[in-house]
């Protein structure tokens, strides 16, 4: 099963790179949804020998939230704000991919220095979790459009999910559901905020938000 888990983790890294290198918002939303589905399989694959109903429920729940509810909300925000492309990000797309490569190397190095309290299913888990967190953070700070920043936030949350899911293993269900609910509320609130920003400013470019209008 380790091999299958590694395939899943590599897919997560690839979706991160796609997000770093693509300017089309619709494609970015879809790729983040795909990342959600791929991540949903991770707890099931990690505990195939002692599969419980709780795990399956959690996997299906998070996959449904990330692959169905989030994309619907984000596509609606995209339609109402009438944006299609991330134009002129603070850091260009090619530079973003190169910085992504650098942070992947850093994640691998950092992960090799950390001693874990318990053995993990694959030595790839920790670097991928760290890299996904870094990629999400980087998307948040380097893009102009509020929508892309929301995507960065979801990816950041996904990274923490990988970290917790395979590393800690037995998180109480209530905490898991609480984290999922947090993410859900955050995306909902940000969707509403995007709508309001685009209504009052005719765009969702957050760089313009530092000037006041009467």
Partner 1 sequence: MNPWGFVQVALALLLSPLLIGVINRTKAFVAGRRGTPLLQLYHDAAKLLRKGAVYSRTTTWVFRAGPIVALAATLGTLPFLPAGGLRAVLWFDGDLLVVIALLGVARFLTVLAALDTGSSFEGMGASREVTFSALAEPALLLGLAAMGREVGSLSLSDMSSGLTAAKWFQAAPAMMLAAAALLVVFLAENARVPVDDPNTHLELTMIHEVMVLDHGGPDFGVILYGSALKLWVLGTLLVNASLPVRTSSVAIDAAAFLAGMLALAVLTGLIESAMARLRLAHIPQLLVGATALSVLAIILVLR
**Residues at the site binding partner 1, with contacts judged by CB under 8 A:** 3, 6-7, 10, 13-14, 17, 21, 93-94, 97-98, 100-101, 104-105, 108, 123-124, 127
Compute the distance between CA of residue 79 and CA of residue 71 in angstroms, rounded to an integer: 12
Query: Closest approach of Cβ 142 to partner 1, in Å?
Result: 15
Q: Which residue has the tokens 């859900």?
A: 184
Query: Closest approach of Cβ 100 to partner 1, in Å?
Result: 7
**Contact of 39 with 62, CB cutoff 8 Å:** yes
Query: Closest approach of Cβ 171 to partner 1, in Å?
Result: 26
Select 16 or 157, whichever has its Cβ closest to partner 1.
16
What Cα–Cα distance (Å) separates residue 23 from each residue in 89, 102, 145, 151, 165? 9, 20, 11, 12, 30
Query: Closest approach of Cβ 117 to partner 1, in Å?
Result: 21
Select 111 or 151, whichever has its Cβ closest to partner 1.
111
Select 35 or 62, whichever has its Cβ closest to partner 1.
35
Query: Closest approach of Cβ 93 to partner 1, in Å?
Result: 6
CB atoms within 10 A of CB 53: 7
Select 54 or 85, whichever has its Cβ closest to partner 1.
85
Select 107 or 198, whichever has its Cβ closest to partner 1.
107
Select 10 or 173, whichever has its Cβ closest to partner 1.
10
Contact partners, residue 172, CB within 8 Å, separation at least 6: none
Query: Closest approach of Cβ 145 to partner 1, in Å?
Result: 18
Compute the distance between CA of residue 156 and CA of residue 164 in angstroms, rounded to an integer: 13
Compute the distance between CA of residue 98 and CA of residue 102 in angstroms, rounded to an integer: 6
Compute the distance between CA of residue 9 and CA of residue 127 in angstroms, rounded to an integer: 10
Contact partners, residue 101, CB within 8 Å, separation at least 6: none
Q: How many alpha carbons lie under 13 Å from residue 135 in its C-beta half-sphere?
A: 32
């Amino acid at each position: 099963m380790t091999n299958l888990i590694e395939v899943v983790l590599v897919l997560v890294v690839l979706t991160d790179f796609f997000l770093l290198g693509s300017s089309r918002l619709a494609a970015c939303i879809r790729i983040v949804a795909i990342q959600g589905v791929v991540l949903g399989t991770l707890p099931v694959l990690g505990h195939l020998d002692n599969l419980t109903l709780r795990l399956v429920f959690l996997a299906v729940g998070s996959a449904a939230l990330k692959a169905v509810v989030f994309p619907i909300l984000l596509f609606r925000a995209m339609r109402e704000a009438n944006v299609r492309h991330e134009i002129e990000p603070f850091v260009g797309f090619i530079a973003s991919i190169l910085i992504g490569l650098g942070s992947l190397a850093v994640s691998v190095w950092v992960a090799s220095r950390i001693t874990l309290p318990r053995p993990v299913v694959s030595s790839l888990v920790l670097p991928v979790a760290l890299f996904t967190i870094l990629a999400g953070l980087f998307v948040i700070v380097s893009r102009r459009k509020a929508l892309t920043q929301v995507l960065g936030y979801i990816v950041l949350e996904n990274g923490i999910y990988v970290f917790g899911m395979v590393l800690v293993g037995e998180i109480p269900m209530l905490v898991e559901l609480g984290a999922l609910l947090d993410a859900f509320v955050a995306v909902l609130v940000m969707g509403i905020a995007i709508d309001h920003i685009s209504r009052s400013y005719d765009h969702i470019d957050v760089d313009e938000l530092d000037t006041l209008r009467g």
